[in-house]
Amino acid sequence: MEAVLNNLNSIVNLQGVLELLLAISLSAAAGFRVFLPLFVLSVAAVYGHIDLPSDLDWVESSPALVVFGVAALLEIGGYYLPWFDHFLDILSTPAAIIVGTALAASVTPELNPVAQWTLALVAGGGTAGLTKGVMNLLRATSTATSGGLTNPVLSTLEWLLATGLSVLAIAAPLLAGILVISFGLFAIYKFWQFFRRSSPPPSTQEPT
């Protein structure tokens, strides 16, 4: 009996870890493109590759699939318009955090509401915000160094990463989670380097 309970706990814990990694991965994808992860999640739900909680049944509907698909295409196209991409960054930064939080909550239905939304805000919204912040910094750097000529290349990379990571998160959440966590640690390190270089050096002048 004890062995059966231990095996059951292992399965539950493993399921919880996979749900956490799925939440983090989809949230990171939202930092690249807001609507693509929603579209991929809707496709996966409609075709039975993932079970969503009952309050998200509308995501599994054909109308939601069409709306998310059209919105994803418009978002992708908008980032290829010169200077309009910066306007989209302003709008999509808070949107990515909101969507990242919602995505994380949607794939962790087994948790109690307090733990579910705490995890969603910290892991989901935080991961989406971190990813979006890195891409905003890269876009600003690209614009400053090339006058925006390399921005289409960056835009293509972003939607490819959003699509690939969303699909990988559903198909292999463990692998996707490892990649996202590695990217997050790298992003934190680069932010630390950036702000360290931007801060003025301490004064070495001795007081008189």
Question: pLDDT-based confidence at 8, cuts 50/70/90?
Answer: very low
Contact assessment for residue 70 and residue 85, using Cβ atoms and an 8 Å cutoff: no
DSSP conformation class of 60: G
Q: Which helix (H) or strand (E) holds 5?
A: helix 2-32
The structure tokens listed for 37 are: 């992860």
In this predicted model, which residue has the larger pLDDT, 203 or 78? 78
Domain segments of the chain as ranges: 2-182
- Write out pLDDT tens, residues 81-121: 888 888 888 888 899 999 999 888 888 777 777 878 888 89
Query: How high is the pLDDT of residue 13?
Result: 63
Residue identified by tokens 């739900």 is 45
CB neighbours of 124 closer than 8 A, spacing ≥ 6?
A: 23, 24, 26, 27, 100, 101, 102, 103, 104, 105
pLDDT of residue 20 exceeding 80: yes
- The whole-number average pLDDT for the span 14-41 is 88
